[in-house]
């Protein structure tokens, strides 16, 4: 009964913005590590950003630093990813994912540490 539902994807122009949402059901987001991953066709999952809701520490891939911001709203049981200054290489399916409850270290590069995944939302950046 633990689920994520991503939303907010769509088409954006280069330099534009999108805001992704990841709504959790069946569990609360406190004391979790919640990450955003993306996958382009034919490529592996890439860790984009992560937030540790135990201490609110955030982590970003070098490719998105300064452009993307991850945040959480515990009252809404939702994690957000604000994406600004979008580039075509940001295109892909974006997934939110969580480690098991109580495992609050992001460890964003270790995909297998994240065991609960949403269905993904498509982001396309194109002129």
The confidence score (pLDDT) of residue 29 equals 87
Which residue shows structure tokens 């539902």? 5
Which residue shows structure tokens 């600004």? 84
The confidence score (pLDDT) of residue 47 equals 97
State the burial class of residue 39 (Cβ atoms within 10 Å of its Cβ: 0-12, 13-18, 19+). middle
Local confidence pLDDT in tens for the 127 residues of the chain: 678 999 999 999 999 999 999 999 988 888 999 999 999 999 999 999 999 999 999 999 999 999 999 999 989 999 999 999 999 999 999 999 999 888 999 988 899 999 999 999 999 999 9
Beta strand 46-52 with 57-60 is: antiparallel
Contact in structure between 2 and 27 (CB atoms under 8 Å)? yes
The confidence score (pLDDT) of residue 28 equals 86
The confidence score (pLDDT) of residue 50 equals 97
């Amino acid at each position: 009964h633990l689920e994520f539902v991503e939303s907010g994807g769509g088409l954006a122009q280069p330099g534009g913005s999108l805001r992704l949402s990841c709504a959790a059901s069946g569990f609360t987001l406190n004391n979790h590590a919640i990450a955003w991953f993306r996958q382009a066709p034919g490529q592996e999952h890439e860790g984009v950003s992560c937030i540790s809701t135990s201490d609110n520490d955030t982590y970003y891939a070098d490719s998105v630093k300064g452009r993307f911001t991850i945040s959480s709203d515990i009252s809404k049981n939702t994690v957000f990813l604000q994406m600004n200054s979008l580039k075509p290489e940001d295109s892909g399916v974006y997934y939110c994912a969580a480690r098991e409850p109580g495992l609050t270290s992001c460890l964003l590069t270790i995909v297998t540490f994240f065991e609960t995944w949403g269905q993904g939302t498509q982001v396309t950046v194109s002129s």
